[in-house]
Chain A
Amino acid sequence: MISIVDLGIVRDVEWQDDEPVITVTPTYCGCPATEVIMADIGRALTEAGFARHRVEIRLAPAWTTDWITAGARARLAEFGIAPPGAGSVATARVIDTSALHRRIVRAPVRCPRCGSAHTRELSRFGSTPCKAQYRCEHCLEPFDYFKPH
């Protein structure tokens, strides 16, 4: 189990005038899970007896995989999803499009199953906006990689 707090989606929890206010940030702009997550938070608060509550969205600073806790990274790997490498997309890649045709070499993504670094990207986009599709060339299993963002 990985919580939305572990993923860095919950940015703030505070009381404002007798009312709990939960602030969340979307992972990706179009992630359909954002609305589900907000609805779930609201339901959990209602069930816990907080009929009055607010769930708000905050865009800045933009969510980054750097906010995913160490424990959550380990549990992602246990679940079969390779955790994101260090360094968010903004800090890992200087915005210089003249380098577009020269891919910046990234640290190898390790297979969450056998640990091999001999893996290959099948597609930069996967089953959810935050994941890429990889395959391990050692154990031949496909796996998801949580993209650094």
Chain B
Amino acid sequence: MSTDRQLFDYLLRLADNDLVMAQRLGEWVGHGPVLEEDIALTNVGLDLLGQARLWFAYAGEVEARFAAAGRSEDALAFSRDGGEFRNLLLVEQPNGGYADTMARQFYFDVWHQLLLVKLKHSRDARIAEIAAKAEKEVVYHAERSADWIIRLGDGTAESHARMQTAIDDLWMYTGEMFDPDETETVLAEEGIGCDVRTLAPAWREAVGNVLSEATLTVPGGTWMQRGGKNGIHTEHLGHMLATMQWMQRTYPGAEW
């Protein structure tokens, strides 16, 4: 039988993936290669931020069931330290060049869409309705990132080389997406969460199809980096949070 604490932890994972990815995309504001891309990056970021808020709001309500009080969306986003973040290592990786940003987005979008399709049928009605709403948005994200993988991969020699390097570099962060821990296993058994292992075949097929169309090679590495969902992060998350959280840390409770 799962506990509210486990459900809270699970919701934080969903929220943190969205929030951290949104923050990374926000770093592109004003730096996009063309105006349309600047707008697209921030639109995707905005969708993810909106989804993060829905997950955080629910997480706060669940937290109130076992703690003295449930934290607000802002408190969860801006007042937790790096070790309390539960996002995948993939989404905290730095923006790098455009190929790096799009490779990260593509790996995540395909997984995210598959995950939400499953969570739409969660026995937890709140999870199901948030997932159904979010999935419609993520369909567009996945289409766009796949387009860019193909465009850059099957582009010039230079864009192809950079895209292949980005795809290779981030590969070791993809294993964690399909590697459940106890929290996920318990929630999946109860039909509340998703057994992420079941997402792997469809993800590999979709990624393989797009990379093939993009004339890119699917990386062959089998050693995978992990730790994000248990709070063990790469050195990049702390720097990102320092920027993201400084306002609330400096002026706690400041309101817009």
Contacts and interface: CB of A to CB of B under 8 A. Distances in A.
Contacts of B105: none
Contacts of A98: 202, 205-206, 209
B66 interface: no
Interface string B207-219: 0011011000000
A101 B213 contact: yes
A62 B131 CA distance: 10
Nearest to B106: A100
Interface in A115-149: 122-127, 129, 133, 147, 149
Contacts of B139: 89, 93, 95
A5 interface: no
Given A28-B50, A30-B46, A100 B210 contact: yes
Interface string A93-110: 101011011010000000
Given A100-B143, A100-B146, A100-B209, A29 B110 contact: no
Contacts, number: 105
Contact of A101 (B135, B144, B209): B209
B209 A124 contact: no
Interface string A17-43: 000000000101111100000000000
A13 interface: no
Contacts of B137: 28-29, 129
Contacts of A95: 113, 117, 135, 139
B152 interface: no
B36 A59 contact: no
Q: What is the interface residue range for chain A against chain B?
A: 20 to 34
A90 interface: yes
Contact of A124 (B49, B53, B129, B140): B140
Q: How large is the interface on B (under 10, 10 to 19, 20 to 34, 35 or more residues)?
A: 35 or more
B210 A125 contact: no
Nearest to A62: B133
Contacts of B135: 90, 95
A109 to B, nearest CB: 15
A93 B113 CA distance: 13
A89 B136 contact: yes
Contacts of B53: 29-30
Given A59-B54, A129-B47, A29 B205 contact: no
Contacts of B213: 101
B76 to A, nearest CB: 16
Contacts of A103: 143
Contacts of B114: 97
Interface in A45-81: 59-64
Interface in B39-76: 39-40, 43-44, 46-51, 53-54
29 contacts: A28-B47, A29-B50, A29-B51, A29-B134, A29-B137, A30-B46, A32-B46, A59-B54, A59-B129, A60-B129, A62-B133, A89-B139, A95-B113, A97-B142, A98-B202, A100-B146, A122-B36, A123-B36, A123-B40, A124-B40, A124-B144, A125-B36, A125-B40, A125-B43, A125-B144, A126-B39, A126-B43, A133-B39, A147-B140
Given A90-B136, A95-B113, 9 more contacts: A30-B46, A60-B125, A62-B129, A62-B132, A62-B133, A89-B139, A97-B202, A100-B143, A133-B39
The 10 closest A-B pairs by CB, nearest first: A30-B50, A29-B50, A97-B206, A123-B36, A60-B129, A125-B43, A125-B40, A30-B46, A101-B213, A62-B133
Interface of B: 36-37, 39-40, 43-44, 46-51, 53-54, 110, 113-114, 117, 125, 128-130, 132-137, 139-140, 142-144, 146, 150, 202-203, 205-206, 209-210, 212-213
